[in-house]
Structures are given as structure tokens and as C-alpha cells.
Amino acid sequence: MNGIINVLKPTGMTSHDVVARIRRITGIKKVGHSGTLDPNAAGVLPICIGKSTRLSEYLLNSDKVYMCEATLGIRTDTYDSYGAIVHRDRHLKKIDESVVKSVLKSFLGESLQAPPMYSALKINGKKLYEYARKGQEIEVKSRVINIKSIELITYDFPKLTFKTHVSKGTYIRTLCNDIGLALGTYACMSWLIRTESKGLKIEDSYTLTELEDMITHRNNLFLTSPEKVLGFKKITFVEEQIIKLRNGMSIEINHGLTREDLFFILDDQSTLWGIGEVKDKNIVKMRKLLI
């Protein structure tokens, strides 16, 4: 079994819980997720299985689309509704919807964002939430993120629901907190659903129960090929070229590629050998060997 599974992660499970469940129901050890989704969030969690686990880094770097609800007037230590309330706006008044839309629009584009302390990001070998639980302060560097779209879906004061398309590494909990501050109050994330990751959409996802039933009946239609998900150009090589590439040698080709382009390396039997990269002009080499 080899490929990518579009799993519908339920709330209450960690991404590692999902991986363990997939290992158990498939009997395959080589399983990994490509992009952690918070335990209290639901939605699309791409799972790589078999040799496709070596491709998880390319899924990690992809954009994500979320549906989110934020509650105004409250700030928690985790920036979501599961944390302890640290601030409450006792004088909160209804904010006009046009103001809310304008503030959301102001977050479009690139900006710096600091990851929340209650997150799994590792600093000096420890996860940030481990420091936070001990009350330890630690400096966390802000990272460049890109909010490519953000749209108000519903507004029922003090709750607002929005849809957003973001770059890798964007924390929606932090975005909710920042939106609250921009509105002159506080805000925390009420719920979060990831609706898309690297083209994998929630309407095409499978629950763990559905996967278990399909696997029991030897139905592997839930598997998506890495070629389809990643969308790199496919280039076919002859046996002599494949041998050179898998041995770490560079070869010259002419396929209209540009420097640092990535592409799939296939043989004349359409077997996927790995991912190649352009090093200089028409010079290419193997970047990731899969066989």
C-alpha cells in the first residue's frame, strides 16, 4: 500500500493518534502525517503511507484553507476556547459588521506572526507548551506568513465566522487573537476546521470508520497517488539515466525546466523512482529517491 490518504480528523484526537490508528487498521508501519492539526481542530489531515512517507515535506510546505469561528471579548492563554481565560472585556459593545470586514481585510498579505506558547513547535528540543505549562518564558521568533484570502462568512455578535487561505506555518489561533486586538478588544478561537490542504478537500475526505470498513473489504480507492497530489511535472528516463540518477550523478536533459524546479522521475514502465531537481540550466539530479 502506497499513496496519500485524505483523512477527516475528528476533534479530540491528535495527529499522532490518527497515524497510530491508520497503522493499526492497515498493519503498515510506514505511516506519517504531513502537517499537524491541533487536537481540538477537525478537518483535512493528509496521511502518507508506504514510500510516500518520504514525500511528506512537500505537503508540509503547502497552503491551507480553514473555516474558523472567533469569540470577541475573551482572551485565553491558549488563544482558543479550551484555554484558561486571562482577559475578559467587561465593556464590550457590538462592533459594526463593516468594521469587522475592514479589519479582516487588513490582515491580507505577508506579515510577521509569533507562534503561540501553547503549541507543538520545538525550541531547544522542547515543545513550546512544555515551557508554557511550567510558567517559563522563552523568546519565540516571529515568522513570515501570508494571508492570501480572508472572508467574513457570518457575524452574530460576539461571534464571527471567517474563511481564510493561508501559507504554511500560519497559526489561526494567533490570527484570532490579533483580530481581536485590531478590533480594540480580545478574541479567542471557538472552533477550527481545515477544509483544504494541497488540493485535498474536506468533501473528498474519509473518516477513520470509513477507512477501516474499506480496508476490511480490501477496497483501496481511498489512496491518492503522490503524482496527483503534488502535481510536479513527470519526466520519463531510460534505464541508463535512471541508474546514474539513483547513484547520485547529475545528467543533462532538455525539458524546458528552470533552476530549482522539482519533477517526478519515472522509467518507461511509469514506475515512480523519485523526485528530481534542476541544479543549473539543463543539469538535473535526484533529490529524493523513493525506491
Higher local confidence (pLDDT), 120 or 250: 250
Task: Check residue 175 and give its pLDDT.
Answer: 97
pTM surpassing 0.75? yes
State the catalytic residue, choosing from 17, 38, 63, 96: 38
**Shared-domain flag, residues 96 and 186:** yes
Task: Check residue 3 and give its pLDDT.
Answer: 92
- Does the pLDDT value for residue 162 go beyond 90? yes
Task: Check residue 165 and give its pLDDT.
Answer: 98
Question: How far is the C-alpha of 64 from the C-alpha of 61, rounded, in Å?
Answer: 9
CATH number of the domain residue 124 falls in: 3.30.2350.10
Question: How far is the C-alpha of 118 from the C-alpha of 264, rounded, in Å?
Answer: 38
Task: Check residue 41 and give its pLDDT.
Answer: 94
How many structural domains is the chain composed of? 3
- Does the pLDDT value for residue 116 go beyond 90? no
Residue 18, all three cell numbers: 490518527
Question: How far is the C-alpha of 281 from the C-alpha of 178, rounded, in Å?
Answer: 44
**Shared-domain flag, residues 151 and 222:** no
Question: How far is the C-alpha of 74 from the C-alpha of 80, rounded, in Å?
Answer: 9
> Got the DSSP string for 77-138?
TTSBTTS-EEEE-TT--PPPHHHHHHHHHTT-EEEEEPPPSSS--EETTEEHHHHHHTT---
**Shared-domain flag, residues 255 and 216:** no
**Shared-domain flag, residues 123 and 187:** yes
**For a pLDDT cut of 70, what percent of the chain falls above it?**
99
**Shared-domain flag, residues 73 and 184:** yes
Task: Check residue 182 and give its pLDDT.
Answer: 97
Nearest to 249 by CA among 274, 284, 277: 284
pLDDT digits (tens, 9 = 90+) for 25-40: 999 999 999 878 888 9
pLDDT, mean of residues 39-54: 93
- Domain of residue 173 covers 64-197
Higher local confidence (pLDDT), 119 or 39: 39
Local structure of 60: helix, strand or coil: helix
Among 90-104, 109-123, 204-218, 268-282, the range scoring the smallest mean pLDDT is 109-123
**Shared-domain flag, residues 68 and 144:** yes
- Does the pLDDT value for residue 247 go beyond 90? yes
- Does the pLDDT value for residue 279 go beyond 90? no
**Shared-domain flag, residues 8 and 68:** no
**Shared-domain flag, residues 153 and 266:** no
Higher local confidence (pLDDT), 170 or 137: 170
Task: Check residue 130 and give its pLDDT.
Answer: 76
Q: Is 88 left (phi over 0), alpha (psi -120 to 50) or beta?
A: beta
- Does the pLDDT value for residue 114 go beyond 80? yes
**Shared-domain flag, residues 113 and 172:** yes
**Shared-domain flag, residues 238 and 177:** no
pLDDT, mean of residues 268-282: 89
User: CA dihedral in degrees (30, 31, 33, 39; nearest 10)?
Assistant: -130
- Does the pLDDT value for residue 254 go beyond 90? no
Nearest to 187 by CA among 277, 49, 88: 88
**38 labelled catalytic:** yes
